[in-house]
Chain A
C-alpha cells in the first residue's frame, strides 16, 4: 500500500485541537489556565529548536536570546507606537528572524561545538545589552500590556484565560505552519544536509543557504514565543531570559524527541509541570531547608540525563520505531 506523496496538511486536526482547548479553558481553574499559556509558549519555542537542531542539525544554546529579541521588539512597538497587538507579534517574528538570519550567516561555516559556543556567548551577552539603551528599559524592563479581553466575552473572562486563548491560538497556527514547512522541500533539504553535507551538495542542495534559512525561520518562531512569554508576565527584562532558559528549551526538545514534532507538547508539559511536582515532592519529604530548596533542580536535571540515556530520540519516535518493528515482524510472518 503506497502512501500518497503529498502529505495532507491535517488542518481539520488542528481545528479539532482548537476546539478541545476552548473547552478546556472553561473547565480548569486559573492557575492551570496560566500554566496552559506557559505550555503553549514552550510548545512554540521547543518547535523552533526541533526545526533547527532536529531537522537542520545545528545546535543552538542561545535561543533564549532570540526570544528576547522578539519580546523587546513587541514591547517597544507597543510602548512607542501603541501598535495593535497583532502587529507587535508580527514585529517580534520579523525582528527575531532578522537576528536569526544574521546569526545563521555568521554561523554557517561553524559546526558542532563552535556553533554551540557562539550561541552560548550570545545567550549570555545579548539580554544584558538592554541596559545600554534607555529605550529598552534597563534591568527593570519594559511593560508589555496586551490589553484586557474584549467585553463581548463577558465579565468573568479573566486575564489569564485571554492569555491562554492568544497563546493557544498562536501555538496551533505556529505548529501547523512548522509542520508544513518541515514536510516541504525545505524540510527535506535540511534533513538531507544534516550530517551528510557533501552528499547533499552533490545532490545540488545549497547547504549554506539552507542552513541560514533554517536559522531564520527557527529564530522567527522563537521570537514569537518570546513575545508571548512577555505577554504572560506583563514585562520584558534581561533577567527573564537567562542562560538557563536556552538550556531549558534544549531540554524540552530532547524530552519531546528532537527529531519529530509529534511529541512537542510532552516536553512543554514536563518543563512546566516538573518544577511544581518536584516542589510538592520536596515538601512531602520534609527534611532540611537546603534539601527542599535544591530537590526540584536535582529532579529536573536527573530526568534530563535519564531521558538522554534511555529515550534519546524521544518517546514518540521510540513508540513509532517499536510499532514499525512490530509491523515488520508481523508482515514477514504473514508470508
Chain B
C-alpha cells in the first residue's frame, strides 16, 4: 500500500515537472537557448488564468486563456529579447552565458512586476474536479480525479507535440531551424517565424504546468510560493535528465525525478529532499552525459 502510494505521488508530481521540462525542451529545440524565465512565464500565465476564472468563473475557460496568454507573452519575449540578444551577444565567450543571464534577468523582472500587480493579496484558483482520493476496499489512495486529469493532459500534450515535430512540415521546419538555420532558410523556411512559434508552444506548455501546479497544491497563487521555486528548478533538472533534445526524454526525466524524490522522501528521510535531484543528475549524466534520450553532439571534422 505504501509502495503504491509512493508510486502514485511520484508519478503525479513528476508529470507536472514533465510539463515544465517539455517547455524547456521546446525552447531548446527551436532556439538552442535555455530559458530560465520559463517558470516566471508560467507564473504570469497562471495569473492570466486566475483573472479569467474570477471573471468568467470556469476553470475550463481559464485553461485556454492561460495557454494563449502564455503563448503570446513567450512569443513577445522571443521577438524582442532574443532577437536583440542574437544581434548583440552571439559571438565571443559571452555567447554561451548570455542567454542564461538574460533569461535570469527576465525571471527577476517578471517576478517583480507580478508581485507589484497582484502581490499582497490572497488569490486562489479552485480545482475544477475533486482532488479527493479514490477509495478502494476501504483505504484511500493518493490518487484523485484531478491527478488523473493531469496525467491525461500531459500524455495528450506529449502525443500532440510529437506528432507535430515528427509528422508535419511545420515540425520539420522547427527542427531544421534549430539545427541548421542557414540551410533551412535556403530551403525557404521562415526561420525567424518558426523560432517564435517554438517559444509560443513552450509558453503554452508552461501555462498548463503553472495552472496544474497551483490546483494540485492548495490552490494558492503567489509569486513567492514554494511551488513555483520547485517548478523552476525541477523542470530544468528534469529536462536535463531526459536530454534536452527530446520531448519524450523530458517526460521520462520528469517522471524519473518525481518518482525518485517520492521514494527518497518516503523511505529515506525528508532531509534529503533537496540533494536528491543533484545526485540523480550526476548519476544519469555519468552514465549518459547527454541525458536519457539525448543525442550525442557529433564530431565535426
Stretch in A7-15, A105-113, A160-168 with 4+ CB within 8 Å of B: A105-113
Is A17 close to B, CB under 8 A? no
CA distance A255 to B291 in the complex (A): 32
Is A291 close to B, CB under 8 A? yes
Other-chain contact of B100, A110, A116, A121, A313 (Cβ < 8 Å) = A116
Contact in complex: B97, A258 (CB < 8 Å): yes
Other-chain contact of A290, B84, B102, B116 (Cβ < 8 Å) = B116
Contacts of B285 in A (CB 8 A): 106, 109-110, 114, 118
Task: Bits for B257-290, please: 1 = Cβ < 8 Å to A, else 0.
Answer: 0000000000000011111111101100110011
Stretch in A73-81, A228-236, A301-309 with 4+ CB within 8 Å of B: A301-309
Contact in complex: A301, B300 (CB < 8 Å): no
Is B13 close to A, CB under 8 A? no
CA distance A116 to B232 in the complex (A): 13
Task: Bits for A90-134, please: 1 = Cβ < 8 Å to B, else 0.
Answer: 000000000000000010011111101110111011101101100
Which A residues between 157 and 204 are near B, CB-CB below 8 angstroms? Answer: 194-195, 198
Contacts of B84 in A (CB 8 A): 309
The verdict on A117 contacting B240 (CB below 8 Å), with A194-B93, A309-B88 known, is yes
Is A140 close to B, CB under 8 A? no
CA distance A300 to B104 in the complex (A): 11
Contact in complex: A301, B92 (CB < 8 Å): no
The verdict on A121 contacting B277 (CB below 8 Å), with A114-B291, A309-B84 known, is yes
The verdict on A251 contacting B101 (CB below 8 Å), with A59-B96, A118-B282 known, is yes
Contact in complex: B291, A250 (CB < 8 Å): no
Contact in complex: A304, B271 (CB < 8 Å): no
Is A205 close to B, CB under 8 A? no
- Pick the most buried of A121, A195, A250, A310: most chain B CB atoms within 10 A of its CB: A121
- Pick the most buried of B105, B111, B279: most chain A CB atoms within 10 A of its CB: B105
The verdict on A301 contacting B106 (CB below 8 Å), with A116-B100, A120-B237 known, is yes
Task: Bits for A284-315, please: 1 = Cβ < 8 Å to B, else 0.
Answer: 00000111011101101111110011101100
Other-chain contact of A301, B98, B108, B237, B275 (Cβ < 8 Å) = B108
Contact in complex: A109, B105 (CB < 8 Å): no
Task: Bits for B224-243, please: 1 = Cβ < 8 Å to A, else 0.
Answer: 00000000010011011000
Contact in complex: A117, B237 (CB < 8 Å): yes
Contact in complex: A116, B34 (CB < 8 Å): yes
Contacts of B112 in A (CB 8 A): 294-295, 297-298, 301
CA distance A106 to B233 in the complex (A): 20
CA distance A243 to B228 in the complex (A): 14
Contacts of A109 in B (CB 8 A): 285, 289
Contact in complex: A294, B119 (CB < 8 Å): yes
Contacts of B164 in A (CB 8 A): none
Contact in complex: A118, B281 (CB < 8 Å): yes
Contact in complex: B108, A298 (CB < 8 Å): yes
Contacts of A126 in B (CB 8 A): 275, 278
Contacts of B119 in A (CB 8 A): 290, 293-294
Contacts of A118 in B (CB 8 A): 240, 278, 281-282, 285
Is A218 close to B, CB under 8 A? no
State the main secondary structure of chain B at its contact with A: helix
Least CB separation from A301: chain B residue: B108
- Give the Cβ gap from A241 to chain B, nearest Cβ, in Å: 12
CA distance A295 to B111 in the complex (A): 11
Which B residues between 82 and 104 are near A, CB-CB below 8 angstroms? Answer: 84-85, 88-89, 92-94, 96-98, 100-102, 104
Is B59 close to A, CB under 8 A? no
CA distance A298 to B79 in the complex (A): 21
CA distance A194 to B94 in the complex (A): 11
Is A247 close to B, CB under 8 A? yes
Least CB separation from B33: chain A residue: A113
**Closest 7 A/B residue pairs (Cβ):** A301-B108, A304-B105, A117-B240, A125-B275, A298-B112, A121-B278, A312-B89
Q: Can you identify 23 A-B contacts, CB atoms within 8 angstroms?
A: A106-B286, A113-B28, A113-B34, A116-B34, A118-B240, A118-B281, A125-B275, A125-B278, A129-B274, A131-B271, A132-B272, A247-B104, A289-B120, A290-B116, A290-B119, A294-B115, A301-B109, A304-B104, A305-B106, A309-B88, A309-B102, A310-B88, A313-B94
Binding site for A on B (CB under 8 A): 28, 34, 81, 84-85, 88-89, 92-94, 96-98, 100-102, 104-109, 111-113, 115-116, 119-120, 233, 236-237, 239-240, 244, 271-279, 281-282, 285-286, 289-291, 297, 299-300
Q: A113-B244, A124-B233 are in contact. List 7 more A-B contacts (CB 8 A).
A: A128-B273, A259-B94, A294-B113, A295-B112, A297-B108, A298-B108, A304-B101
